[in-house]
Chain A
């Protein structure tokens, strides 16, 4: 069995707001093993960014960690000192954001920024620049030596994102976290990036935690998938299990809604009517109940636990328990 790299264990995170505590993450558990690509999928507002900023401890000031642990190589990051976190970020764990300009400094050349990343290394400047150029080449930037002298705005959006990936990989991290890195890009560039990530993952043997709301990308890139809804993990498992045999009604509906597998022109496309519940004022029972076509009496009162259905496939829905009982 492969070594576990990151373990999220019963993590609950609130935001303090004027309306009371907004329960952004509740009882989140999943893990990422060494060298594997795990996708986190869920609609906007389900807590994907909160989860990532919690792992990196780059949270907004009104964040309150209520419960749980985030273990990286066995160490609970929620207990780590600020200094330990700084050492970890950009060395063992790197991040790529949706907007690459969040990574790039607009007034420094790409070369300078890639030198700065290597400030801990004792190598000569020439060696560091050579490494930077090699890395730009690895993410598919043509003519990398010459382009080190250019500024971020001189690159297209797709190239900036690939440069952000190159920078994130400079430290040869064990874990690369990517928060919707392709959401702002065209389909053609999106495909280029996910293919590149797949190659790089093999080459550098790092694990990737890939956040997206694009099911097609998740299906193509990831080994395992974690499905989130309204601040909770409602299903997780092997990518084939999730897409071919989803065990939570939300996962099933989400896949149904993707027009990517409706090949004939549809008069009416499937949707998920209703809205995500207010996280500052959570209803009792199953959080998906208002929108679930299969809700039963029990769903109104009891929160379904995330249960293992078979090796490596978890879901939080009472339907699976009924099946098990009969």
Chain B
């Protein structure tokens, strides 16, 4: 049984249909990456899983139990098992609390007041390789990389089984980005954590994710193992994303596939394949609506996929 099983998730904010049927599953100990341009609905997916955004339709099963729209009685114990890691974990928290109080706050929220908060703070700081005296510091005294570690420590407090991380490395310098990714990889191995990581940085995905899903306008358009996607991306949109990845080499000659324009408005979804207007490979058949097809674990929503075109 999958640890997390999301099926046909729909979310609308008023007339804006943000998620139009998102399905994916995450196994225990697995890292799953959701990628796509901004506005494709990535944040909404994980907020809906965590119960922080509405989902009018579909199902979210955690450990076999339905949690979409579940009662507080069902959700409360599960809140320990699923931790959210926000993009700016410290900035979104109170600047007046010490780091020690910030990372032990989840215990207080859960009413676990009998814990030795001091000891817990030290334990959590050690887990993310920060010196224990950081417990007495304040958020403004931290560097960008340290602040992210504090965010990880806080997410780990209640010993979750699943971490939902929204752009965990965005805005970090490359020298620090590696540290955070190494930490996440290490924690996954040591604690058997499963993770859903949102990012638009494909260079990062390659090194952390076991599988990945590519989102466009609130739906997955391709899904597969990270290796398969990097070696054998079949959806034109995925190919575009992969080629829009500047390399740190002035002589790299990228065969860039130009992605036309910007995503269409959610209030005015295109007919047929929704990527059609921007797709460099669109054909007449693409006025029809592509269905989700899975072949040997590789999911795809495209009527004229790249691997069926012969050598280009």
Interface set of A (CB-CB < 8 Å, partner B): 43-44, 142, 156-159, 183, 186-192, 194, 213-220, 239-240, 243-244, 253-255, 257-263, 265-272, 275
Contacts of A219 in B (CB 8 A): 246-250, 252
Closest to A188 in B: B244
Given known contacts A158-B262, A219-B252, A261-B249, A271 and B179 CB-to-CB distance under 8 angstroms: yes
Q: Chain A residue with minimal CB distance to B173?
A: A43
Contacts of A239 in B (CB 8 A): 250
Contacts of B251 in A (CB 8 A): 240, 244
B203 at the interface (CB under 8 A from A): yes
Contact across chains for A190 and B248 when beta carbons are under 8 A apart = no
CB distance A265 to B248 under 8 Å?
A: no
**Measured between alpha carbons, how far is A271 from B177 in the docked complex, in Å?**
8
Q: Which of B200, B250, B261 contacts A187 (CB 8 A)?
A: B200
The answer to whether the Cβ of B52 comes within 8 Å of any Cβ in the partner chain is: no
Bound complex: CA A265 to CA B252 (Å): 20
Specify the chain B residue showing the minimal Cβ separation from A218.
Answer: B248
Q: How many residue-residue contacts, CB under 8 A, span A and B?
A: 118
B307 to chain A, nearest CB (A): 20
A254-B174, A259-B204 in contact; A188/B250 too (CB < 8 A)?
A: no
Q: How far is the CA of A218 from the CA of B249 in the complex (A)?
A: 9
Chain A residues with CB under 8 A of B200:
186-187
- A216's partner among B176, B178, B181, B247 (CB-CB below 8 A) is B247
Interface of A is mostly: helix
Q: List B contacts of A215 (CB < 8 A).
A: 174, 248
A300 → chain B, closest Cβ, in Å? Answer: 22
A218 / chain B contacts, CB cutoff of 8 Å? 248
List 14 contacting pairs A-B, 8 Å CB cutoff, sorted by A: A156-B262, A186-B37, A186-B200, A187-B241, A187-B246, A191-B246, A216-B245, A217-B246, A219-B249, A240-B250, A254-B175, A259-B177, A265-B227, A269-B182
Would A216 and B244 count as touching, CB distance under 8 A? no
Question: What residues of A have a CB within 8 angstroms of the CB of B176 in the complex?
Answer: 43, 271
Considering the chains assembled together, what is the distance between the CA atoms of A216 and B249 in angstroms? 7
**Is the C-beta of B259 less than 8 angstroms from some C-beta in chain A?**
yes
B133 is an interface residue with CB less than 8 A from chain A: no
The answer to whether B244 touches A213, judged by C-beta atoms less than 8 angstroms apart, is no
With A and B bound together, what is the CA distance between A157 and B37 in angstroms? Answer: 12
Which B residue sits closest to A220, measured CB to CB? B246
Q: How far is the CA of A259 from the CA of B175 in the complex (A)?
A: 10
- When the two chains form their complex, are residues B247 and A260 in contact, meaning their CB atoms are under 8 A apart? yes
Given A158-B262, A188-B241, A275-B143; A259-B250 close (CB under 8 Å): no
B240 within 8 A of A: yes
Chain B proximity of A104: nearest CB distance (Å)? 18
The answer, yes or no, to whether B185 is at the interface (CB within 8 Å) is yes
**How far does the alpha carbon of A43 sit from the alpha carbon of B145 in the complex, in Å?**
12
Residue of chain B at shortest CB distance from A157 = B38
Provide the residues of chain B in CB contact with A188, threshold 8 Å: 37, 240-241, 244, 259
A213 and B174: CB pair below 8 A?
A: yes
Interface string of B219-240 (1 = CB under 8 A from A): 0000000110000000000001
Additional pairs, 8, CB under 8 Å, beyond known A218-B248, A253-B175: A187-B245, A188-B241, A190-B246, A191-B245, A213-B173, A219-B250, A265-B206, A275-B143
Interface residues as binary, B166-209 with A (CB distance below 8 Å gives 1, 0 otherwise): 00000101111111011001000000000000001111101100
Shortest CB–CB separation between residue A227 and chain B, in angstroms?
Answer: 13
Inter-chain contact B261/A142, CB cutoff 8 Å: yes
Interface centre among B179, B245, B247, B256 (most CB of A within 10 A): B247
